[in-house]
Amino acid sequence: MEILVCVKRVPDTAENEIEINSEGNDIERDDLVYSVNEWDNYAVEEAIQIVDKVGGSVTVATVGDEESEEVLRREMAMGAQNGLLLTDDAFEGADGKGIASILTAAVKKGNYDLILTGAQADDGAAEVGGMMAAMLDVPYASLVNTIEVQDGKLKIGREVEGGNQDMYEVEMPCVLSIQTGINEPRYVGIRGIRKVASVEIPEQGASDLGIDASNVGGDAAKVKRIDYFVPEMGEGAEMLEGSTEEIIEKLVEYLKAKGGLK
């Protein structure tokens, strides 16, 4: 089975507050470190596990600049056989649909049975997978938390409310967006990354993919992020004062308003 996994390089923001830069048009990136989007990492692990079982190969692709190569290498160190860097100045400023168009063009140039994406990214909109499926006119499922290969079809589970799981049988090719927890991604150490450090990662731009650059870049984007801002936040908690009865009354009001009572 040939599997393409679409991954994204994102700032690793765990444990550190995000600050907005002085212009307000971006987050403060000076002290940020980047890594592969957590959901994508699960997707790559899943792809590797499927290929381990039924054979085939895993290709990881990303749309980005030279720096995005680092996440491709990390995923290749996990066990993906091929990397594919989709890079072009014309891709700058692409919106979700633009990214989906670029990736779709890459899919069409290959011969993939299964396309995986992460269900969402910290700085994303959980949209690229579904858009790609529509562009490719293939089945799609989001929030996938189990995949089983059965007689050329996939039996998958989707995570839905209440911890329940909807099971489907899906024909291939298809696009699935992967939810965290579907597996336990393997650890990639420095040693693993060094092993693939010299592997050539092909780069493809708009002309390689046969797409009209003006249709996918910033100019074509119909959805634009204008700025970043920090939502109003008080200094610590509002401390409820008064007699116990009064406090309880106020607390119950809050609980009602915030959906804390059923």
Partner 1 sequence: MADIFAYIEHNQGVVDDTALELLAAAKKIFPDAPVTAIVMGSGGDVDKVANEMTASYNAVWKVDNAAFSFPDAEAARKALVNILPGDCVLLLPHAHFGMDLSPGLSIKLDSVFLSDVVDSEGLDGNTLKVIRQEFSGQVSTHVHADISNGAVINVRPGVFQPDESKAGGGDVVDKSGDIGDVSVKRKYLETVQAEAGEVDITKSEVLVSVGRGVEEEDNIEMMFDLAEAMGADVSCSRPIVDAKWLEKARQVGTSGQTVKPKVYMALGISGSFQHMGGVKGNPFIIAINKNPKAPIFQMADVGVEANILEFVPELTEKIKEL
Partner 2 sequence: MEPLLQSPAAFDVFGIPTVIFSVLIPVVAVALFAYIIAKRLAPIVKARPDYRFDRPVERVKNILKIWLAQWRHPRYMMAGVLHIIIFFGFLILSVRSTELVIKGISEGFVFPGLNTFLGDIYYTLKDYAATAVFFAVVIAAVRRGIFKPERYQYTEAYPHDHTWEALLVLFFIAALMVSESLFEACHVAAQIQAGIQPDFLAPATLGWFFKNLLVDESHAMLQNLHIIAYYTHDIVFFTFLCFLPLGKHFHVITSIFNVFFMRLDKGNIRPVRYGVSEDQLDDLESFGVKKYEDFTWKDVLDFYTCADCGRCADNCPANTVGRPLSPRFISLKARDYAFSHYPLMGEFVSGGALIGDIFSEDEIWSCTTCGACEEECPLGIEYINKIVDLRRGMVDEGNVPQSLQKPLQSLEKRGNPYGMMEKKRADWTKELEDVEVKVLEKGETAETLYFVDSCTSYDDRMQSVAQANARILCAAGIDFGILGKAEKDSGNEIRRFGEEMLFQDIKAHNTEAIQNSGVKRIVTGDPHAYNVLKNEYTGLPPVEHISQVILQAVKSGKIKLSGVTEEEKDKVFVYHDPCYLGRHNKMYEEPRSSIDCIPGIRRVDMLRSRDRSFCCGGGGLMLFYEPTEDERMGVRRVKMAQQAGAHVIVTACPFCLTNIEDGIKVAGLEGKMEAIDLGELIAKHIIK
Residues 126-145 that bind partner 1 (CB under 8 A): 126-131, 133-135, 138-143
Distance (Å, whole) CA 83 – CA 11: 20
Distance of closest approach, residue 142 Cβ to partner 1, in angstroms: 5
Per CB under 8 A, which of residues 63..102 are in contact with partner 2? 78-79
CB 96 within 8 A of CB 132: no
Task: Choose, by CB under 8 A, the member of 31, 55, 66, 163 that binds partner 1.
Answer: 163
Question: What count of other Cβ atoms lies within 10 Å of the Cβ of residue 226?
Answer: 7
Among 25, 24, 89, smallest CA distance to 224 is for 25
Q: Which is nearer to partner 1, 191 or 224 (CB)?
A: 224
Task: Choose, by CB under 8 A, the member of 192, 201, 221, 250 that binds partner 2.
Answer: 192
Distance (Å, whole) CA 248 – CA 51: 57
Look at residue 56 and give the partner it binds from partner 1, partner 2, none, a contact being a CB closer than 5 to 8 Å depending on partner kind: none
Distance (Å, whole) CA 47 – CA 32: 29
Number of residues that bind partner 1 (CB under 8 A): 76
Give the range of 57-65, 98-106, 178-186, 226-234 binding partner 2 by CB under 8 A.
Answer: 178-186
Among 95, 169, 179, 110, smallest CA distance to 139 is for 169
Question: Residue 35, interface with partner 1 (CB under 8 A)?
Answer: no
Question: Residue 184, interface with partner 2 (CB under 8 A)?
Answer: yes
**What element of type H or E holds 129?**
helix 128-136
CB 58 within 8 A of CB 81: yes
Q: Which is nearer to partner 1, 36 or 85 (CB)?
A: 36
Question: Residue 208, interface with partner 2 (CB under 8 A)?
Answer: no
Q: Which is nearer to partner 1, 39 or 73 (CB)?
A: 39
Distance (Å, whole) CA 115 – CA 140: 10
Task: Choose, by CB under 8 A, the member of 171, 202, 218, 219 that binds partner 1.
Answer: 171
